């Protein structure tokens, strides 16, 4: 269905995909290498997972992103992504559980913390060399500025470092025009809007180790909350001035909290927080670059200016 929506001019005015072929080859080649390692008994090298992450501007992000890729990739469950999905939305009825479970979604409880079973299962998939995709903002955010990234993505990356994970950012725009949020209810409209312009940009692959190194450097350079970075002001996709760090590290949860882990440390929490911050900046930079490319591509196709409708502008982490 997602491919029909994307490929039908009556439904989608334009689909611009950047880096899709390269990403498809990456998934296929990584899978082939993992199969070869498994057949040879594993050897000294573990199976290598892929961790992708993206902004989350619509409930249609997941199907439309993968619908932009070749059918040969998305039709093979061995190559398809695994992704955490909200239990209260995707697994709250037997029919939905069957549908989303068959689509390789992993039930995860919003607010359940990074130590919940859903995150453990996601990490196990990575240890098996699978491709895992995560929306680090945690929920749909139709504000042009990225929301704060949850720490779950930090846990996935840091605990999979021995596997040398491949990390790929993905930026999407336009799906918020297809299925905007109702500002009164915070729910998506029931029916998608046709005739929109959609962008899907796959970034360059990054090694998990390089992300970890950037996070460690960020920790060493850290300044008190509310002070500007020594590298000067930075801007997100909306152009708003950002400050680093945005907030002090939260205290550890009490022992009765579902977020509590007796083996967790302040240093580990700081590393997860810094990894999440680094990934947010990586995605922000990809987004700025991709939107410039998108405008140029639409002009080349004679589809400029792109169609825009007023959508909800409150960022999900602003209360």
Q: Closest Cα to residue 150, out of 141, 163, 142?
A: 141
Evaluate whether residue 312 is within a structural domain. no
- Which range marks the domain in which residue 94 is found? 2-301
Residue 145 confidence (pLDDT): 87
Evaluate whether residue 318 is within a structural domain. no
**Interatomic CA distance for residues 215 and 271, integer angstroms:** 7
Domain count, the chain: 1
Please answer whether residues 291 and 159 qualify as being in contact, where contact means their C-beta atoms are separated by less than 8 angstroms: no
Q: Is 300 exposed, middle or buried (0-12, 13-18, 19+ CB in 10 A)?
A: exposed
Evaluate whether residue 307 is within a structural domain. no
Please answer whether residues 160 and 51 qualify as being in contact, where contact means their C-beta atoms are separated by less than 8 angstroms: yes
Residue 218 confidence (pLDDT): 80
**CA dist 187 → 5, 26, 141, 142, 190 (Å):** 21, 35, 11, 12, 9
Predicted TM-score (pTM) of this structure: 0.88
Mean pLDDT of each 10-residue bin along the chain, 319 residues long: 81 93 96 91 82 95 94 88 95 95 95 93 96 95 89 96 96 92 71 90 96 87 50 41 49 78 89 93 95 93 73 60
Tokens of 22: 């390269």
Evaluate whether residue 274 is within a structural domain. yes
Residue 306 gets the label, from left (phi > 0), alpha (psi -120 to 50) or beta, of: beta
In this structure, the dihedral spanned by the alpha carbons of residues 87, 6, 145 and 283, taken in order and rounded to 10 degrees, is 90
Bond from prior residue into 245 cis (ω within 30 degrees of 0): yes
> How long, in residues, is the chain?
319
Please write down the HEC assignment for all residues of 58-73.
CCCHHHHHHHCCCHHH
3-state helix, strand, coil in the chain (%, to 5): 40, 15, 45
Q: Which one-letter DSSP state was computed for residue 250? A: P
Please answer whether residues 125 and 114 qualify as being in contact, where contact means their C-beta atoms are separated by less than 8 angstroms: no
**Interatomic CA distance for residues 60 and 192, integer angstroms:** 9
Q: 3-state DSSP call for residue 111? A: coil
Evaluate whether residue 248 is within a structural domain. yes
Evaluate whether residue 155 is within a structural domain. yes
Residue 311 confidence (pLDDT): 60
Residue 42 confidence (pLDDT): 60
Residue 260 confidence (pLDDT): 84
Tokens of 237: 């996709």
Q: Which one-letter DSSP state was computed for residue 161? A: G
Residue 228 gets the label, from left (phi > 0), alpha (psi -120 to 50) or beta, of: beta
Evaluate whether residue 210 is within a structural domain. yes
Helix residue ranges, H only, the chain:
2-7, 20-39, 61-67, 71-74, 87-90, 94-102, 117-127, 152-159, 175-178, 208-220, 266-301
Q: Is 75 exposed, middle or buried (0-12, 13-18, 19+ CB in 10 A)?
A: exposed
Query: At 239, which CATH number?
Result: 3.40.1130
Distinct helix (H) and strand (E) counts, the chain: 11, 10
Q: 3-state DSSP call for residue 215? A: helix
Pairing type for strands 241-242 and 234-235 reads antiparallel
Evaluate whether residue 319 is within a structural domain. no
């Amino acid at each position: 269905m997602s491919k029909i929506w994307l490929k039908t001019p009556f439904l989608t005015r334009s689909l611009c995909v950047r880096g899709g072929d390269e990403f498809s080859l990456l998934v296929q080649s990584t899978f082939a290498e993992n199969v070869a390692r498994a057949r040879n008994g594993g050897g000294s090298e573990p199976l290598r997972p892929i961790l992708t992450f993206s902004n989350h501007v619509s409930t249609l992000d997941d199907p439309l992103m993968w619908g932009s890729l070749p059918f040969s990739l998305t039709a093979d469950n061995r190559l398809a992504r695994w992704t955490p999905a909200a239990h209260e939305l995707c697994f709250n009825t037997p029919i939905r559980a069957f549908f989303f479970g068959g689509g390789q979604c992993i039930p995860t409880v919003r607010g359940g913390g990074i130590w919940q079973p859903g995150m453990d299962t996601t990490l196990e998939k990575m240890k098996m060399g699978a491709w895992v995709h995560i929306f680090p903002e945690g929920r749909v955010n139709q504000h042009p500025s990225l929301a704060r990234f949850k720490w779950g993505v930090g846990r996935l990356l840091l605990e999979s470092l021995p596997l040398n994970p491949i990390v790929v950012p993905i930026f999407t725009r336009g799906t918020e025009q297809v299925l905007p949020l109702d500002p009164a209810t915070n729910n998506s409209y029931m029916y998608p809007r046709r005739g929109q312009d959609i962008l899907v940009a796959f970034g360059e692959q990054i090694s998990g180790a390089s992300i970890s190194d950037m996070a460690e450097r960020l920790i060493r350079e850290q300044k008190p909350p509310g002070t500007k970075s020594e590298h000067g002001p930075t801007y997100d996709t909306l152009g708003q001035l950002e400050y680093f760090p945005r907030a002090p590290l939260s205290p550890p949860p009490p022992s009765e909290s579902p977020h509590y882990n007796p083996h967790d440390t302040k240093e580990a929490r700081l590393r997860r927080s810094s990894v999440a911050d680094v990934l947010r900046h990586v995605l922000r930079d990809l987004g700025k670059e991709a939107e410039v490319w998108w405008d140029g591509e639409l002009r080349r196709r004679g589809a400029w200016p792109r169609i825009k409708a007023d959508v909800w502008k409150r960022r999900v982490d602003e209360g």
